[in-house]
A = this chain, B = another copy of it.
């Protein structure tokens, strides 16, 4: 079950360049320099042992093989993109679901976080629970616990709501620890005054 694999970067460069028929335009789209695209495509061609482009001074032309290759590559990219979007919608703008330890609720303002208009754009739903498993199962993005807990490699953030000596613990998967949503929530927490 071992795959023969061209490099993804090379394929990305190829796909973009083929669409634009220009390394320069492809480079702009990919956010790199034209030299990088040129190198990537050349590397890809070398690893495949075929020419994908005919380089003309006035631009690029796909060779027959290049033209034959392109549709499949685009399709594979679509599959990858769609699958990724389906399983993990872009974090950008995504709202988190948060579990609230019953013991934490008492230390927070009534109705938190829904009383805050700012947080509304970061929180999709809250649930009363302290079950850390729910994070591993992706059923929950974060958890606010009242006490330090054993957890594998989850990310933990300790916050002391303003004027309250009792800390709470903000738990997420590592990938979510540093996202804008998490930061906003932690900051909001830190500046909350306890009831």
Contact = CB atoms under 8 A, between A and B. Distances in A.
Contacts of A136: 51, 54, 63
Interface residues of A, number: 59
Contacts of A176: 49
A79 interface: yes
Majority DSSP secondary structure for residues of A touching B = helix
Interface of A: 1-9, 11-12, 16, 19, 29, 42, 45-51, 54-55, 63-65, 68-69, 72-73, 75-77, 79-88, 90-91, 94, 135-138, 141, 152-153, 173-176, 179
17 contacts: A1-B29, A5-B8, A5-B84, A7-B8, A11-B80, A45-B173, A45-B175, A46-B173, A48-B84, A48-B87, A49-B88, A51-B138, A54-B136, A63-B137, A65-B87, A75-B79, A76-B79
